[in-house]
Structure 1
């Protein structure tokens, strides 16, 4: 039970870490996505996921990897976002992967609207008096830290995953 709880906390801890890093530096280090990938099998084994369910998780990983690569190629998201998107898809599986996709898209839209407001001539001066990363968020034409939206989608979908323990 302690091992299961510890492994279940890996996912939310790492996606929140990724979101904070993306928000403050516009980068998601590779080690975060790699840690998510590496921790999946021990978590799946600890929770006793049957092989067909692990296969479903792998299929969602493949689909989210292809989708993330396509979004990266189109310039919609960064490379770190694409890797985080795929690693989160592995943990979420099906049907939580569908919830993840929908909530991530909605959160991304809300994030874009919030950044447009922050980058307005009215709010931008207020945000420039804070930390440098906040001023960068308020800079017109700057990128969108999409890792934040991925985090929101992942955290909303995680309770519906086979890897979420029932206590």
Structure 2
């Protein structure tokens, strides 16, 4: 039984990493990643033994994260895939783990932004020019920030504090 619990829990970090890498290399997070995370949440919750109140808080946290992500998308701060990834991370992590998740995500986003500003400063132009297409896109002046990377860092860092991980006893 415990092997099945751990296997279901591993879906979250695996798909979050894939989402972050896809955003880094293509500036998109495919919808199938968010849908797979939602689909995997159901059996993970059922097998975790989490209390109904914890499950309710996970659902409420995911809904609030979706609303916040939609607002940030409407403001042009993040992309649509970022908003969906933020929401499913909120769903999986629940309350109160979402607070450190948001803090780590914000710090990772700031570090990512500073790193990309450095990359785009001109000092690394020869390296960027000789790199693969996705590196050239990252190094392009005025380019977007693949915030899915920061969301993935925040999710991975705080996953052990999440409601499902705590219910299973990770």
Matches within 5 A, 1:1-150: 1-150=2-151
Q: SS of the counterpart of 1:163?
A: helix
Cα distance in structure 1, aligned partners of 2:12 and 2:164: 10
Task: Return the offset for 1:130.
Answer: 1.3
Are the aligned partners of 1:111 and 1:149 in contact in 2 as well (CA < 8 Å)? yes
Matched, 1:166 2:169: yes
Are the aligned partners of 1:58 and 1:93 in contact in 2 as well (CA < 8 Å)? yes
Cα distance in structure 2, aligned partners of 1:108 and 1:67: 16
Are the aligned partners of 2:29 and 2:148 in contact in 1 as well (CA < 8 Å)? yes
Are the aligned partners of 2:58 and 2:163 in contact in 1 as well (CA < 8 Å)? no
Cα distance in structure 2, aligned partners of 1:114 and 1:147: 15
The unaligned stretches of length 5 or more in structure 1 are: none
Cα distance in structure 1, aligned partners of 2:115 and 2:125: 12
TM-score by length of 2: 0.95
Task: Return the offset for 1:35.
Answer: 0.6
The Cα offsets for residues 45-80 of structure 1, whole Å up to 9 and x where unpaired, read as 111111111000011101110110011011010000
Correspondence for 2:156: 155
Cα distance in structure 2, aligned partners of 1:124 and 1:71: 31
The Cα offsets for residues 102-126 of structure 1, whole Å up to 9 and x where unpaired, read as 1111111111100000001111221
TM-score by length of 1: 0.97
The unaligned stretches of length 5 or more in structure 2 are: none
Q: CA RMSD in A?
A: 0.9
Cα distance in structure 2, aligned partners of 1:55 and 1:156: 23
Task: Return the offset for 1:14.
Answer: 0.3
Are the aligned partners of 2:59 and 2:94 in contact in 1 as well (CA < 8 Å)? yes
Task: Return the offset for 1:20.
Answer: 0.6
